[in-house]
Structure 1
Amino acid sequence: MKKSMFLLAATLVLAGCSQPKPEPTPNEEKREGGLVQISAEAQSHFGMQVEAAQVHSLHELLQVPGTVQPIDSRVNTIRPLARGRLHEVLVKVGDRVSKGQPLATYDNMEAGELVAQLSGARADLERLRGQERQLGRQVERARALAEIGAVPKKEFELATADQRAAGQSVKSQESVVEGIVARLRRFGLTGAETQTTPITTITAPLAGVITKQEASPGEVVESTTALFTIADLSAVWVQAEVYEKDLGRLRIGQDALITVDTYPDQGFTGRVTYVSDFLDPRTRTARVRCEVPNGSMQLKLDMYTNVQLPTTFSRKTLAVPSGAIQEVGDKTVVFVRKSATEFEPRVVTAGKTVRELVEIVTGLTAGEMVVKTGAFHLKSILVGKELGEE
């Protein structure tokens, strides 16, 4: 009995030893001979992509944050031409207005005084014209009498002098009337008004957006009171702050690319028009302004922007996508495909990074296939194997 049980146990041990080892799964990953191996199925699972290293024309861009601001020369503060009481306010902040559009009306006190002065001046003018006509008749009578010797010739000469003086008075009064009418025209009045408190309309001097309103109906305003601020936003400034170490890489007149989070797939092209001569002593930055066309009105005031400014760095060089670059310890590494499932970790020297492309100074040649997506997974395999060996 004991012998039979011993034979059965020996048979089971032999059977266990003779079973084949399990095949590696399709996702198995390993490192052999300095290469990282990963199956095609695993590559597909991780979305791994490769791309040939190529020579690119790199133009370095300086990226700085900015904000949208109105251009000073396109901002207009609207004030009344004279003292008066606001009658009606026709617009509000945020309204878009066209040139010549009414903004408000007010009882123009100064214009009312001018209307009263004009009425008096016209009455005086008519009186002087009447006197001139009367003197004209006297001159004719004196001439006739002087011709027949009824009166001395000197009397005729005195009557003529009086007529000329009256004519000069009429011309002087006509100038007074014309001056008052001209002042009324400044208020949009023709001079034919008869009311002593005429209503004056305040209009927009340019097309734009109302950015500030400080007018309320019934308020008495002076000629110095700011009622509205209008900004023409068909072109705007994008104002950025650039560190002093980067100022030497910029120049006035160069192009700038502006992007905003609101329109992530759209860029706006501008031009650098101003670089400040002064630094902010706290941030050590200088103000840089880019003028940007904004006919679509998509850029709003105070909107945050990302400003990309081309620098003086520009050359043709070997470069790879930034996703291909991995840091392993103190080395910069890319993974070069050697076969369908084998990848070589290659130590390289990286240079400038421009628009998601990294310059490769040494360690790689053009045409070699480099992993651009999924390189981090290969790095994990490489680092994990090295830790296991330790």
Structure 2
Amino acid sequence: MLKTKKAKIALFSGLGLAAVGLIAYALLWGGGNTSTDMPATGEGQLYYRVASEGSIASSTLLAGTVEAAEEQYIYYDPTKGDIAEFKVKVGDQVGVGQALIQYNTAELQSNLNMAIRARDKIGRQIYDLQTNGQTVDLTGDPTQDESSMATAQRSVESQLRDLNDSYADAQATVDKAQAALNEATVVSDVAGTVVEVNTSVSKSSTSSQTLIHIVNQGSLQIVGNLSEYDLANLSVDQEVKLTSKVYPDQTWSGKITYISNYPEGNGGGEGVPGSTGGASSKYPFKIALTSDIGPLKQGFSVNIEVVNAKKSILVPVEAVLSDGDKQHVWTIVDGKAKRVEVTLGNADATQQEISSGLTAGDHVISNPSMDLEDGKEVKAIEEEANPIK
């Protein structure tokens, strides 16, 4: 029995020595770091962010469709008669002024020739009257002969005026006939690729019939509609970023080139990003691509983010605290906490605009604790700021 008691005493003594050793080890290796790694507030590690100037993410998101910026549709014109020839086929590359379609010109050429003959006939009459004038029979009586010559001169001048008017009318008829003949040859207004040729047209159809469609594949634009809510926040020349679900890893840049002042039509706001529901007018807009087109194709749907160019002082949204109707942040000045009232601007998911109260370079505590006090010493670690957009 005595032997067992001694064994128990020895065991307890060994455990006591081990505990003392662990405590000593902790004091030796851990005690030197408490003053620098732990904050003075006692509520966990504080971090601060250097206030910097930048832009928050845009809150204006739109949708649009990729279309050709330069294209031409040629429609059948029954007033020009029968089509004699299609001068291009699908896939052809055409330049500005290149002939595309030739209407039958037989009748038009005949009309032009007839108009030219009528004009030239009047021209010969004018020449004859100016050259030969009018014959006057003289009587030998100076007074009577002078009167006869004056009357003849007035008659010649009157006839010339009438003939000149007739010549001008005849020239107008020639010009009209020549224009009709010229229009019988339809030419391209844009340089591009022929993507459609329709040789089967109905002369009796009352609807528009496309004969040829030309597209400049290297000149694309984005078109869409703005709601009245977005219209107030956007303007021509604002920059945008474009993304496509087809190529989610790529982005394109562009610039707003046109915003209509007149609504395309009234209706609900469904499908119009940025609208809050209810009736909303739609205003057409256009965007020009300022980056390489890459794999974008006509007909692609794209998402549009309007780039926010406004620069403001930015802090983490978590750094801003509210006290009633006022907001403040905690800054660090000479190692001590300082409460600063601020005026807020807009915000995105991570950053808050500060309109007044801070300047670039201020050290703002990004995770303020409840026990911060003005003038209280604090220790905080700087964290990396979000990249400035």
TM-score (norm 1): 0.50
Higher strand share: 1
Q: TM-score, normalised by structure 2?
A: 0.50
